[in-house]
């Protein structure tokens, strides 16, 4: 069993304290890891600061090779990392292993990006160049729903740009991240990558730390607001990828039987614990009853259970707090709508809730108005697509959305008017390393992925030469 220690300055070190991690499928101990003190956070930042000049001066081609080596090591150890991830996060084992592979894939593809010098003008009067320089020490705060792959979104571009990195995983899912750190520590110079774990007590210290130049945060909107407030004191750069209440707008010209599996897959990946999962389905009255029935049938066919068991489709909620919140939201939905599948928390150990479909529901119910982040989907009837779009856009969140129609011109016109960062047509929740991903309104600030996401980890430096 790994020791799950902290990575500081190229060495695995014990924490000042320890942290128990619970298996959400059994409510028993999944493992114990080191817990960093504020002094150890400072040590990690000092290590990153000390390594910065050498790493920034390393040619980008060499930085790329080192990052690719990290990806290769993770690929070689994906089975172990996936098993650890399932024990602490709860997702089915195949998905845990797939996430480890996903980290490697995204890391390699993001490492393949480049930061060429941009020539704005090259005339007899002047030459104007735009260079991209590292920001400095970057902190990455990673959530509990996808601890590994979301780390990949941050690690590769931060390091490729020449920054050094301090990583803090969520307190309920630190184990796989600490093990990854142990596996890859020799692939990078000491201090370039540092990984610590806390008990939700160091996030504010990271946001306000005077030697950290940027915080890249993925998590809830409420926590993102705190990150932004803490970062304001030193005017550090921030990227915030926060909560969403993504809507799917389903027009009446689609085949309910054909799209029901796609809608279900969009709403229930990782048991609904996905920032860009479909959280609300607005369905035209012409197909409303049929699509509700199809979705209920699919939900009833899914097997929930411990992620290590064969044939399990959905694991538990990741932690007790989220479990209790989702149960409360479903109880409210039972009063304001009609539950046609699920709605039950089985009498067994673990934070399990059956996949839940609710019809005859509308705004005013918590399941529609709030981000549930769990296995429950409201199906809202509409007759006028324009009116439905206006209702969708009234929410304070704007991460993603989707339009479903056999008429691509109509769908595109509606998609353009979604008040969201990404809108898909006839699909939902697709991410690609080469495509920028940004939130709108209270769902985020800044960009991840793609060239634009890489540039978020750089300082633009304009060189203006007189001739």
* Residues classed as catalytic: 241, 275
| Contact in structure between 341 and 296 (CB atoms under 8 Å) | yes
Question: How many residues does this entry show for the chain?
Answer: 467
Quick count: other Cβ atoms within 10 Å of Cβ 139? 32
> How far is Cα 158 from Cα 193, in angstroms, rounded to an integer?
10
Q: Give phi and psi for 193, each to the nearest 5.
A: -125, 125
Contact yes or no for 224/217 (Cβ under 8 A) = yes
Q: Which long-range contacts (CB under 8 A, 24 or more apart) does 199-206 make?
A: 199/19, 199/35, 199/171, 200/171, 202/36, 202/38, 202/41, 202/168, 203/141, 203/168, 203/227, 204/230, 205/38, 205/41, 206/41, 206/139, 206/141, 206/166, 206/168, 206/230
**Pair of tokens at residue 61:** 């081609």
Write out the DSSP string of 422-446: EEEES------TTS-EE-EETTEES
- Contact 15/6 with Cβ under 8 angstroms? yes
Residue with tokens 């369905």: 283
Q: Taking a C-beta distance cutoff of 8 angstroms, is the pair 74, 107 a contact? A: yes
State the Cα angle at 81 between 154 and 190, rounded to 5°.
55
- Asked whether 20 and 32 are in contact (CB, 8 A), the reply is yes
Contacts of 94 (CB under 8 A, 6+ apart): none
413 Cβ contact partners less than 8 Å away, ≥ 6 residues apart: none
């Amino acid at each position: 069993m790994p020791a799950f220690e902290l990575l500081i300055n190229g060495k695995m070190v014990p924490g000042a304290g320890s942290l128990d991690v619970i298996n959400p499928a059994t409510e028993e101990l999944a493992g114990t890891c080191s817990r960093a003190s504020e002094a150890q956070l400072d040590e990690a930042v000092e290590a990153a600061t000390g390594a910065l000049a050498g790493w920034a001066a390393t040619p980008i081609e060499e930085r790329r090779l080192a990052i690719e080596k990290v990806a290769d090591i993770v690929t070689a150890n994906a089975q172990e990392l996936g098993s650890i991830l399932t024990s602490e996060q709860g997702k089915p084992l195949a998905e845990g292993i797939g996430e480890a592979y996903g980290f490697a894939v995204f890391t390699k593809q993001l490492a393949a990006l480049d930061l060429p010098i941009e020539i704005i003008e090259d005339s007899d009067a002047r030459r104007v160049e735009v260079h991209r320089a590292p920001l400095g020490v970057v902190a990455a705060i990673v959530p509990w729903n996808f601890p590994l792959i979301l780390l990949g979104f941050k690690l590769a571009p931060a390091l490729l740009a020449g920054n050094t990195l301090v990583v803090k995983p969520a307190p309920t899912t630190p184990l796989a991240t600490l093990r990854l750190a142990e596996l890859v520590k020799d692939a990078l110079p000491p201090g370039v990558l540092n990984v610590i774990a806390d008990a939700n007590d160091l996030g504010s210290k990271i946001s306000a730390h005077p030697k950290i130049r940027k915080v890249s945060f993925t998590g809830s909107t409420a926590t993102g607001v705190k990150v932004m407030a803490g970062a304001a004191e030193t005017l550090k750069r921030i990227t915030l990828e926060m909560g969403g209440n993504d809507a799917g707008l389903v027009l009446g010209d689609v085949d309910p039987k054909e799209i029901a599996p796609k809608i279900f897959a969009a709403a229930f990946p990782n048991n609904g614990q996905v920032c860009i999962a479909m959280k609300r389905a607005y369905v035209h009255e012409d197909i409303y009853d049929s699509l509700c029935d199809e979705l209920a049938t699919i939900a009833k066919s899914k097997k929930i259970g411990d992620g290590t068991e064969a044939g399990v489709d959905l694991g538990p909620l990741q932690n007790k707090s989220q479990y209790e919140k989702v149960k409360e939201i479903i109880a409210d939905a039972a009063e304001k709508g009609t539950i046609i599948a699920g709605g039950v928390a089985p009498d067994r150990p673990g934070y399990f809730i059956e996949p839940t479909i609710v019809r005859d529901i509308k705004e005013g119910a918590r399941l529609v108005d709030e981000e549930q982040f769990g296995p429950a989907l409201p199906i809202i009837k509409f007759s006028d697509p324009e009116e439905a779009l206006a209702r969708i856009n009234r929410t304070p969140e704007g991460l993603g959305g989707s339009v479903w129609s056999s008429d691509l011109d109509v769908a595109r016109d509606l998609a353009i008017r979604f008040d969201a960062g990404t809108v898909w047509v006839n699909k939902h929740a697709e991410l690609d390393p080469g495509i920028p991903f940004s939130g709108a309104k209270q769902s985020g600030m800044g960009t991840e992925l793609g060239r634009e996401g890489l540039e978020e980890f750089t300082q633009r430096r304009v060189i203006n030469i007189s001739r």
